[in-house]
């Protein structure tokens, strides 16, 4: 890992740079595939599925028989673990249900807000080197609680043209209405435009590689909303001498094994902790089945020493980590003053893995610094807030004159007339 000691503020931008390509480097490829899918639908998805995933499919739609086969292939032990996680995620997301907000702003003027589900949502579930069935829980559970009518799942098939049994089992368990064997840019394009097999949706959710991230951003130019720009995984740990170096190293590696473009960072006010963590990372890395992936991600990662807590916090807020672990004596300072982070994990016994799977919080989070502008996925992500108002005779008399004056000042006479006619009718 790259060790950096007391970087000056002018260097922070370079020190904290993510190992990601720029949007411009990928955008041309995405636009080409989008254009082809819009024009020729399933034929193009089939072409790129063969090119990128190495398999030709006669049908992208997962059948009932495939779902039944998958259910038989998932062990009872794993099913119980998935059920536990699902239960905790349901508890946390049901707690986010909000009541109708109603207020009389002026006598006779009543305004209220109610939430309605987004009717059609698309869930992108990465496959590739790790079948992220846990992401289905994080997306389909709140979508179901919100009341979304169509929940369409896309995930890339393996070389045999199949999806991992745990993906199919979890999707079926969580209320997904249609499962599509397609991934990458072509899947996002299918959800954006609709094809013979892939339904067009109103909003697309889910993490993915840099190509999927850019594809989601391009989808917004075609009238489809997205949850956030969620790209390669990242983790920042702040730790001092009260932390357990082995625990910290395990957390760093847990994110490094996601992919070669993942990034992990340790920020510490202790040079001893940095040395201990570096040693532990090297030891634990050799025991991992995915050590070659983790090794390449570790090459993109940083061990940063700073002299005081305030500098550490300022640097962390500048980075805006997707996952943020706090293992320090001065815990409250780092927790109370963080403003840019996707999800926060506090204390030596709160691994990031808990949030990835079973604590109940959502693991679909903003990456690449977008924690400065975006929240992670939550129940409201699957809903829209609609405002309502009702004005009676007393109300229009109370605010009518103000509306007339403001409309006239803006030169919008028809706006003024809409009020004047009503006021004159009440004379």
Q: Which residues are annotated as a binding site for substrate?
A: 233, 255, 258, 323, 356, 410, 415
C-alpha to C-alpha distance for 68 and 168, rounded to whole angstroms: 9
Q: Residue 222 catalytic?
A: no
Quote the CA–CA distance of 311 and 306 in Å, as a whole number: 7
Q: How far apart (Å, rounded) are the C-alpha atoms in residues 368 and 353? A: 20
3-state class of 54 per DSSP?
A: coil
Q: Which residues are annotated as a binding site for NAD(+)?
A: 124, 186, 209
The catalytically annotated residue of 234, 257, 280, 322 is 322
Q: Is 234 a catalytic residue?
A: no
127 close to 55: Cβ distance less than 8 angstroms: no
Rounded to whole angstroms, the Cα distance separating 97 from 87 reads: 16
Binding positions for Zn(2+) are 255, 258, 356, 415
**93, 257, 280, 323: which one is catalytic?**
323
158-195 as b/e: b if 16+ CB within 10 A: eeebbbbbbbbbbbbbbebbbbbbbbbbbbbbbbbbbb
List residues forming the annotated binding site: 124, 186, 209, 233, 255, 258, 323, 356, 410, 415
Gap between the Cα atoms of 10 and 14, Å rounded: 9
Nearest C-alpha neighbor of 175 from the set 158, 152, 196: 152
CA distance 285 to 298: 10
Residues noted as catalytic: 322-323
């Amino acid at each position: 890992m790259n060790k950096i000691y007391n970087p000056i503020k002018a260097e922070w931008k370079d020190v904290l740079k993510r190992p990601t390509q720029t949007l411009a480097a990928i955008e041309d490829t995405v636009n080409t595939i989008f254009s082809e899918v819009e024009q020729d639908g399933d034929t193009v998805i089939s072409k790129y599925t063969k090119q990128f995933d190495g398999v030709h499919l006669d049908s992208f739609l997962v059948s009932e028989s495939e779902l039944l086969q998958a259910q038989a292939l998932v062990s009872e032990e794993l099913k119980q673990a998935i059920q536990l996680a699902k239960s905790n995620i349901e508890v946390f997301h049901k707690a986010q249900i909000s009541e109708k907000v109603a207020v009389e702003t002026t006598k006779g003027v009543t305004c209220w807000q109610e939430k309605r589900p987004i009717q059609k949502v698309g869930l992108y579930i990465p496959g590739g080197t790790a079948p992220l069935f846990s992401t289905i829980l994080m997306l389909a559970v709140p979508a179901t609680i919100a009341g979304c009518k169509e929940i369409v799942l896309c995930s890339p098939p393996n070389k045999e043209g199949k999806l991992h049994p745990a993906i199919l089992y979890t999707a079926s368990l969580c209320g997904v209405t249609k499962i599509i064997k397609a991934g990458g840019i072509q899947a996002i394009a299918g959800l954006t435009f609709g094809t013979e097999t892939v339904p067009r949706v109103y909003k697309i959710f889910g993490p993915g590689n840099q190509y999927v991230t850019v594809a989601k951003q391009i989808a917004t130019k075609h009238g489809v909303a997205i949850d956030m720009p969620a790209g390669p995984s990242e983790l920042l740990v702040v730790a001092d001498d009260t932390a357990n170096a082995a625990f910290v190293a395990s957390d760093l590696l847990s994110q490094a094994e996601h992919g070669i473009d993942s990034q992990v960072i340790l920020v510490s006010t202790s040079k001893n902790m940095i040395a201990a963590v570096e040693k532990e990372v090297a030891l634990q890395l050799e025991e991992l089945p995915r050590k070659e992936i983790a090794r390449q991600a570790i090459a993109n990662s940083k061990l940063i020493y700073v002299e005081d807590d305030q500098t550490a916090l300022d640097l962390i807020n500048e980075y805006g980590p997707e996952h943020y672990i706090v293992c320090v004596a001065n815990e409250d300072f780092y927790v109370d003053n963080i403003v840019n982070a996707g999800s926060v994990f506090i204390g030596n016994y709160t691994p990031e893995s808990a949030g990835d799977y079973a604590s109940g919080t959502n693991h679909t989070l903003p990456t690449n610094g977008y924690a400065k502008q975006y929240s992670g996925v939550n129940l409201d992500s699957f809903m829209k807030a609609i405002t309502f108002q009702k004005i009676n005779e007393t109300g229009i008399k109370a605010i009518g004159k103000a509306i007339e004056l403001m409309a006239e000042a803006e030169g919008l006479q028809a706006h003024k007339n809409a009020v004047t006619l009503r006021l004159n009718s009440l004379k």
